[in-house]
Amino acid sequence: MNKVSFIFPGQGSQFVGMSKELSNNFTVVKRLFEEADDTLGIKLSKLCFEGDPDDLLQTMNAQPALLTASLAAYYASREILELEPQLLAGHSLGEYSALVCSGFFSFQDGLQIVRKRGMFMQQTLVNGVGTMVAVGNISVSILESLCQEISTDSGIVSIACHNSDNQYVLSGHKEPMSRIVEQINRLEHSKVNYLTVSGPFHSILMKPAADKLAVELRKFPLRKGRWPVVSNVTALPHDEFTIYDLLYKQMISPVRWTDTMDYLYQNGIAIALELGPRKVLGQLMRERYPSISTFSVNTSSSFKEVEQWLSKRQTTRKVTLECLEEGFAAALIARNRNGDYKQHMEGVVYPSQQIRNWINQLQDNKNDTVYDAVNTEVLELIRTILTTKQVPEQEQQTILNMI
């Protein structure tokens, strides 16, 4: 199955200049940023295109900026690419981008929610006591042991993100974090990197902000989403009854991105488009599942790369369809050794009619899900025709090898 997923980056991916090229080349993107400016009453477009990096780093600015940049990539892609997603997912703040893209929240409501979310987070950060650290080349069991060993009631550190089997993010108070970092640095091949974020996100230290967000969320109506969105908390698709509760929990719970990638793979995702600045999620996906064709889409040139891949795919599909038709023709002209009229009607005539109808559909249908399902069904019907005709096994295999 060649299903498509759209994935959306989280805070930390923002940079001054993001989406400017898209705004210059796509009217829909220019209007999207104008709408964001009007909705929030600030010049979000200027902040993204040519603002002060320190201003963009502030959580209350970074979150609506990233949401808008991700939606800009989505709307621009719709004008060029013919891809229909089956699953959406986003990392941390990116989960909101996914929910807005799917339609669970309107763009205007989504902007106001993440602006408030960012404000609540900043209000919770007292005197810069919290921090986040990315660590690599260390097992999750060792990290859990270190967090448990060093954390106290007044100094907490916990795992905030499971990004891959080789990359985690810790979140918590600065003092115990420095002691954990010191111990990690003693381990051979370990990697440590303090993140440029303004607080200890996805930890219990965010509970005051989460409590305020829970009240704020209820002010915004939920709509029916067009595509399923995978939750950071459960690594399973949201339903309309739990979205508010899971978005509350998301602020104080670890991001289960590794499990999310596993869910996408296990549900047949073969193409993933990262919509938004930088290439963080795309790189994580390529490392874990090289078989998934992954593209980071945030400039006009990145769309061309996807277009070229789709063009090659269309050529491959054309060849596959030709082989399918050749195999079908060979099955029809194969000698019939079965004299039972009823069996011939049920096992040869009717399947042949179905195959002709479905091959006609495949010639016009660009939906990969339909294509793969019908392709598999046609192959099984050809097997039925050959078996019903009592074609020798070796001849059957020769015909099937043509497909």
Tens digit of each residue's pLDDT (9 = 90 or more) over 148-167: 999 999 999 999 999 999 99
Tens digit of each residue's pLDDT (9 = 90 or more) over 48-58: 999 999 999 99
Q: What is the mean pLDDT of the chain?
A: 92
CA of residue 71 relative to chain centroid, distance: 13
Global confidence as pTM: 0.81
**370 conformational bin, left if phi > 0, alpha if psi -120 to 50, beta if neither:** alpha
Evaluate if residue 36 carries a pLDDT over 70.
yes
Mean pLDDT of 343-370: 80
For residue 293, which phi and psi values (nearest 5 degrees)?
-75, 115
Helix (H, G, I), strand (E, B) or coil at 126: coil
Mean pLDDT of 317-324: 76
Q: Which residues are annotated as catalytic?
A: 92, 202
In the chain, what are the domains?
3-124+204-298 (3.40.366.10), 130-194 (3.30.70.250), 308-400 (no CATH)
**Pairing verdict, β 130-136 and 191-194:** antiparallel
Report in angstroms the alpha-carbon separations of 328 from 319, 324, 338, 354, 365.
14, 6, 18, 12, 19
